[in-house]
Structure 1
Amino acid sequence: MDVYADNPSVSQEALDQMKVALGLDQPLPVQYTKWVTAFVSGEWGYSIRTARPVTTEIAERLWPTVLLGGSSFLLALLVAVPLGILSAVRRYSSVDYGITFMSFLGISMPVFWLALMLQLLFSVHWRILPSAGMQTIGDGSLPDLLRHLLMPALILAFASVAGWSRYMRSSMVEVLSQDYVRTAKAKGLTERKVVYRHALRNALIPVITVVALDFAGILAGAVITETIFAWPGIGRLFIESMNGRDYPVLMALMMLGSFALVVSNVLADLAYAAADPRIRYD
C-alpha cells in the first residue's frame, strides 16, 4: 500500500477502497491466516511491477537458476572432494600448502571482483566468451548456452570449492588418525583402498552438512553472480523485485528459500545414511 500512498495522485478514498479489497482492514491474525491459506494453495498474488501472477514470474526464472546452480554444484563437488582428500593424504607437503593457499585465496576473494575480472579477460580482451545473458538472440543452440553458462558456473563453483576442500581436508585428517585406519594399513592394504574404501565415508559426514546448506543457497538464487552476468534467474528476480518494491514476489521468494533450506536438510539426512550405514532413521 505504501507504493500508492506515496503517490499524490491517489486519493485517500481510493486507498481506503483498496484496503477493503485487499483485506487489509481486517485484524492481523485474520490477514495472516488468509495469506498462509492462499500461499499453500498456490495463490501467490500478482507482481506489482508487471501485473503478472507471481507463480508465472518465478516459474520463468526457476529453470535458469536450477541450471546454473546445478552445474556449479556438481563442478564444485567433483573438484573440492578430491582436492580435500589429496591435501589430507599429502598433509604438510608442498601439495598441501599449495591447495591450502589457493583455498584461502578463494575464500577471501570477493565473488563480484573475480566475476568482473573474468568478464574483462574472456569477454573484453580475448572475446571468446559472452559477458552476460543466457543465450544469444536468434541462436538458442546448446553450444551457445554452454558458452554463456561457463563463466557464472565457474564463479559459483570456485567460491564453493575453496570452502568445501578445507572442510574435506580437516575431516579426512581426523579420520586418517583413527585406529581402524592404522589397522587397515597394517594389514597391507594400498593407500588408495584405505582412503576410498575405509576413510572416505566417515570423512564425508561433516562435509555433507556444509554442502547441503550451500546447496540451499544456490537453489535460492546466486544474487550477485546472476546480477553481474545478467543471468535471468531467481537471484536477479530478487534484486529486480527489491528495487521495484515488489512485495508479493519478494515474499514468495523468501518462502521458496526457506523451503529449499528444509529440503536440503532432509537430503542431508538421507545422505548421512547413505554415507554411513550405521546411521538409521527408525
Structure 2
Amino acid sequence: MRLLDRSARAGSPLTRLVLGRLLLLPVLLAVVTLVMFVLAQQTPFDPVLAALGERALTMDGPTLEAMRDRAGDTGAVQQWAAWWGNALQGDLGVSSSQRAPVATVIAQRLPWTLGLMAVSLVLAVAGGVLVGGLAGTRPGSWADRVAGGGLLSVQAAPPFWTGLVAVWVFAVWLGWLPTGGATSPDTDAVEPFDVLRHAVLPVLVLALSQLPWFGLVVRDATRDALAGLPVRAGWARGIPTSRLLRQHAVRPALLPLVTVVGVRVPELITGAVLVETVFSWPGVASATVDSALRLDFSLLAALTVLTTVIVVLGNLAADVAYRVVDPRVGQRDG
C-alpha cells in the first residue's frame, strides 16, 4: 500500500500537467478562433464571395450586394458563435476551394500530413543525435568542424529552397525520383511502393530542415557534459569512455533535445506547408495555402483549429517526455 501511495504521489504532478493543458485547450481554441473572426471582419475579406465560390460569377450585382448587407449585419462574435455551434454538431461547412465538405477534406488529407511530419521528425531527431553526438564527443576534431559548419549551413537554408534544389538534382537532372505528388498520375490505385518513392524527397527535405536544431543542441550539451567534473573524475579513475558517455553524456543531452522537439513543433508545421506546396503533397498543410489564397474561410477556420490542437498536444508530449527522462522535474513542480 505504501508503494502505491508513493507512486500515486509521484504521478500526481504529471497528471495535473496533462489535465491542466487539456482543460486549457478549449479556452485557447475559443480565443484563437474569435481573434480570427474579428480580424476577418476588419480586412477586405469578402465572406459572400468566399462562400459562393465560382457561383458568384453567375449572380448579378444587386443580389450580391443584398447578401453582403445581410452578412454585414452579423457581428464577428455572432459569426464566431454560429460557427462553433455548427462545428460542435459536426458541421464544418463546405470548402469552396476543394468543392467538398470541410470534414471530408480534412479526413482525406490529414493522414498524409501526419505521416509526413512523423517520419520526418523521427529522421531529424535520429540524425541530430547521431551527428551531434559524433561532433560533441570529439570537440575540436575535423568531425566537429565539419558537422558544425554543415549544420549551420543547412539551418540557414529555407525549406522551399532546399526542396527546389532537391527536385532539380534528384528528379530533373538524375531522374531517380518523382518530381511531386503522392502517387503516379497514370494510376488510380494507391500502391505502397509508389507512395514511398514519392515520399522520399518531401520527407528528407522536411527532416533536413529540422535536423540542425537537434544536432546543434546535442553537440553543445554533450560537449558541456564531457567537460564537467564527473566525467573528468571518471577518466582519472580509469572508467571506460563508453560507460562515461552512457552515464554522464546521454541524459544531459536528452533533456535539452526533448525541449527543442517541443519548441520545433510549430516550425515543423510551417515547414510542412512549404514542403507540401513544393512537392504537391496532398496534405492539409498545402490545403492551408489554397484556402488562404482562394478566401476559403470555412476550410481555413477548421485548419486553424486543427493546427492549434497539434501544437498544444505536441508541446504537451514534449513536457511529458521531459519529466519521464528526468523525474526530478515533476518532483520540483509538485
Query: Do both proteins adopt the same fold according to a TM-score greater than 0.5, normalized to the shorter chain?
Result: yes
Q: What is the letter of the counterpart of residue 73 of structure 1?
A: L
Aligned residue for 2:216?
A: 166
Contact 1:5/1:15 (CA < 8 Å) preserved in 2? no
TM-score by length of 1: 0.88
Distance 2:49 2:90 in 1: 28
Identity of aligned residues (%): 29
RMSD: 2.5
Distance 2:179 2:166 in 1: 9
State which of 262, 270, 273 in structure 2 corresponds to 1:212. Answer: 262
Contact 2:132/2:215 (CA < 8 Å) preserved in 1? yes
Distance 1:2 1:208 in 2: 43
TM-score by length of 2: 0.75
Aligned residue for 1:71?
A: 119
Aligned residue for 1:230?
A: 280
How do 1:83-162 and structure 2 match up within 5 A?
83-136=131-184, 137-138=186-187, 140-162=190-212
Contact 2:210/2:268 (CA < 8 Å) preserved in 1? no
State the shift of 1:266 in Å.
Answer: 0.7
Q: Decide which structure has greater helix share.
A: 2
Aligned residue for 2:303?
A: 253
Distance 2:260 2:249 in 1: 19
Aligned residue for 1:190?
A: 240
> Across the two proteins, how many residue pairs are aligned to each other?
280
Q: What is the letter of the counterpart of residue 119 of structure 2?
A: S
Q: CA 1:250–1:144 in structure 2 vs 1: closer, same or farther (change >3 Å)?
A: same
Structure 1 residue runs without a partner (length 5+): none
* 2:205 match: secondary structure: helix
Distance 1:59 1:33 in 2: 24
State the shift of 1:192 in Å.
Answer: 1.9
Distance 2:49 2:178 in 1: 43
Distance 1:38 1:185 in 2: 66
Aligned residue for 1:239?
A: 289
Aligned residue for 2:46?
A: 2
State which of 88, 103, 107 in structure 2 corresponds to 1:55. Answer: 103
Contact 1:84/1:165 (CA < 8 Å) preserved in 2? yes
Stretch of structure 1 that moved more, 143-152 or 29-38:
29-38
State the shift of 1:187 in Å.
Answer: 4.0
